[in-house]
Amino acid sequence: MACIMFASISCTEQFENNGDIGNSRGNEAVFRLYSAGFGNAATRSGETATKAVYDFLDYYIVDENGKVVTDIKSKYKPETSEIVAEGLHEGSYRLLVLGVKGDKESDGATVNKVTDVNDVWLSFPEDLSKPLDCEYFYSDTPFDVTIVESEGGKQETILSEETVTQHRIVGKVKFDFDFENMYIEYSVTKNVADVETPRFYTSMTANKQFSGESNRVLNDLNLLDGKEYLFMPTVEGSALNGEIGMESRTYTGGTVSQTYGFSGIKVLPNQITTVNTDVNHPEDNRGTMFISSVAYKHGNHKKILQDDEKKGVYTDKSQRSFNTSNPLQLSVTDEGQFHMRFYSPRDLGHVTVKALIPEVSNEWMDFAYLDTIPAFGDAYVDVPMLKKPTVCKGESGRLINVQKLSVAQLKKAQFKIESPEEFWKKIEKIQHGWTIYWGLYGGDPDRPDGGPVGNWMGIRPVHIRESIALFLNFTYMIDMPEHEQILEENKDKLYDDNKNPIEVERVLQQMRQQRTLQVGLVYPGNGVGGLGGGTTFGAYQSAWFDHYSSTYACSIMFHELGHVMGYGHSSSFTYGPWAESLMNNFYVNNLYQMPIDSKSYLNSSSNPNKY
């Protein structure tokens, strides 16, 4: 028994075979590899082993005395997770397999050649000082070989064991935190475990005997980056002890620092050890929802009016419509969730939502704070004051005790929004909002050509988002002092279809009148660039995309707005100076002052879903 059976693979090197394996399966021994889950995982009762897929694999067949068998041919087949061997004699053997998921070089792991099961097979540096990046699997599978001669003189190898189930030689330490307040978990800005003088095994023999010892230095574990870590088993008599240092933000800008201890944490092969921490935070009874950016992300909230939204949704007025003076819609659902829907191409940061709840107090109080509500955000969040008594800060600065509320009580609340951002200050200046919703007018956006019917084609979300930008800007513009000034300076250019002069106050009154428009997309194939009148408004695609900088596109928009205001083609409000020289130039030249001051928020001209 002399020639070693050794084979290894990695993600960067080609498998090398130390002998040809015959095409006939009759005299081959075939072992199928499977990897099992952690032995004490919560799902272990229903967990089955899965086909083993490794980035590196090493294996040996040893005899009854633990010596490596060397007079056979073998091969590992990663595509089928099989080890195939030829030349085995009748007798009893053990198949030893070491599998690695990940790049073992990042752990400084060394895999040694062995000739006996007592030789060190796997070793790590004593000064590794960090958790392991890779998972290391091991199996020791006894099997017997029987050689049977069939008809024709062929020999067939029969195994007593054909499947190999591997288990991890490493253990996992999992840090769990129980937060009483659902929003504090996502306000944590620092969470570090300082582990005192841990001792881990650093080597393992082919017979799975652990030895060696780390030098007791382990870098701090950043629990914000991850809460689960892999280690070699702790040395007998050793355990992980240490402290967790936690810092969290408050929505008012403060910082809370806390320390929690842990001890006696042992790392066992193929086992998960959990470090449980009950977080007792001074803000636990705070009723204000602190929706940090992290909390918002973990909430898995949606966005409205995205390119994949169905036409049956975005053209349903009951589901999609807004008033430009109230683009951030706030409400309480029948199920008691707080709903925020934002009709805006821009994000809004530092948002404080204040509530006036008749059942609680006659003072406005802080109901929610968001680091950011994203453009077209559509968020549903849970309300702490529906679950238990809480405390909220009132506008006067005093703390208001809030008894546990019912959904019916909360639905009576009024809401208002505060933000220090200039964008929101501009939105607040929109006093004369217009209500906007969208229609197909017979077109079909699912067709490549928009399914044109007459002068209309199917509007898509890419156009709807631009209409929101336009009407936010337009309804902001109509109350700008500079806008009033340009009308005063050109009042001689304002006339109706009979060329009768129209007073500036009358024009402003018409522009500031509450209106509801159904917005659509005009089909330009008939030579029409826009359509408008009454509650109808539409423009062709390029006009929607270019209203930021093109005075021609703007003249189309204001031409149709002139029709909405009741004027015909003989007035100054369509083909005359109001639409073609005053308003279009004012809009483009003053875009920098408006809420949606750049086309870069939407970048619609580069959108692949345009026509």
Reduced to 3 states (helix: H, G, I; strand: E, B; else coil), residue 110 is: strand
For residue 300, what pLDDT is reported? 87
Is there a contact between 471 and 447 (Cβ–Cβ < 8 Å)?
no
For residue 8, what pLDDT is reported? 35
For residue 84, what pLDDT is reported? 93
Nearest to 520, CA basis, from 536, 504, 497, 501: 536
Distance CA 525, CA 187 (A): 54
pLDDT class of 554 with cuts at 50, 70, 90:
very high
For residue 467, what pLDDT is reported? 98
Of the listed ranges 7-16, 27-36, 50-59, 500-509, the least confidently predicted one is 7-16
For residue 95, what pLDDT is reported? 96
Nearest to 266, CA basis, from 199, 193, 166, 191: 199
Residue 410 has pLDDT above 50, yes or no: yes
pLDDT class of 46 with cuts at 50, 70, 90:
very low
For residue 256, what pLDDT is reported? 97
Instruction: Return the structure tokens found at 300.
Output: 């898995």
pLDDT class of 25 with cuts at 50, 70, 90:
very low
pLDDT class of 41 with cuts at 50, 70, 90:
low
Distance CA 321, CA 370 (A): 23
For residue 488, what pLDDT is reported? 97
Of the listed ranges 350-354, 523-527, 549-553, the least confidently predicted one is 523-527
For residue 154, what pLDDT is reported? 67
For residue 153, what pLDDT is reported? 64
pLDDT digits (tens, 9 = 90+) for 433-462: 999 999 999 999 999 999 999 999 999 999
- CATH fold of 8-168 reads Immunoglobulin-like (2.60.40)
For residue 5, what pLDDT is reported? 32
User: In CATH, which of 3.40.50.10470, 2.60.40.2630, 3.10.270.10, 3.40.190.290 is domain 171-279?
Assistant: 2.60.40.2630
Residue 397 has pLDDT above 90, yes or no: yes
pLDDT class of 49 with cuts at 50, 70, 90:
confident
Residue 560 has pLDDT above 90, yes or no: yes
pLDDT digits (tens, 9 = 90+) for 195-209: 998 899 999 999 999
1: exposed, middle or buried (Cβ count in 10 Å: 0-12, 13-18, 19+): exposed
Domain ranges of the chain: 8-168, 171-279, 289-421, 436-606
For residue 160, what pLDDT is reported? 75
What are the backbone angles phi and psi of residue 395, rounded to the nearest 5°? -60, -25
Instruction: Return the structure tokens found at 546.
Output: 């270019």
Nearest to 130, CA basis, from 178, 86, 84, 195: 195
Q: pTM, whole model, 2 decimals?
A: 0.82
pLDDT digits (tens, 9 = 90+) for 295-353: 999 998 999 999 999 999 999 999 999 999 999 999 999 999 999 999 999 999 999 99
CA-to-CA separations, 544 to 232, 434, 465, in angstroms, rounded: 61, 18, 9
Task: Indicate the average pLDDT of the chain.
Answer: 92
- Provide the percentage of residues in the chain whose pLDDT is more than 90: 88
- Tell me the range of 98-102, 142-146, 156-160 where mean pLDDT is highest: 98-102
Distance CA 99, CA 587 (A): 67
User: What does the pLDDT average to over 108-128?
Assistant: 97
For residue 197, what pLDDT is reported? 83
pLDDT class of 216 with cuts at 50, 70, 90:
confident
Please report how the helices 504-511 and 481-489 are oriented relative to each other, as an axis angle in degrees rounded to 10. 140
User: What does the pLDDT average to over 66-75?
Assistant: 93
pLDDT digits (tens, 9 = 90+) for 240-279: 999 999 999 999 999 999 999 999 999 999 999 999 999 9
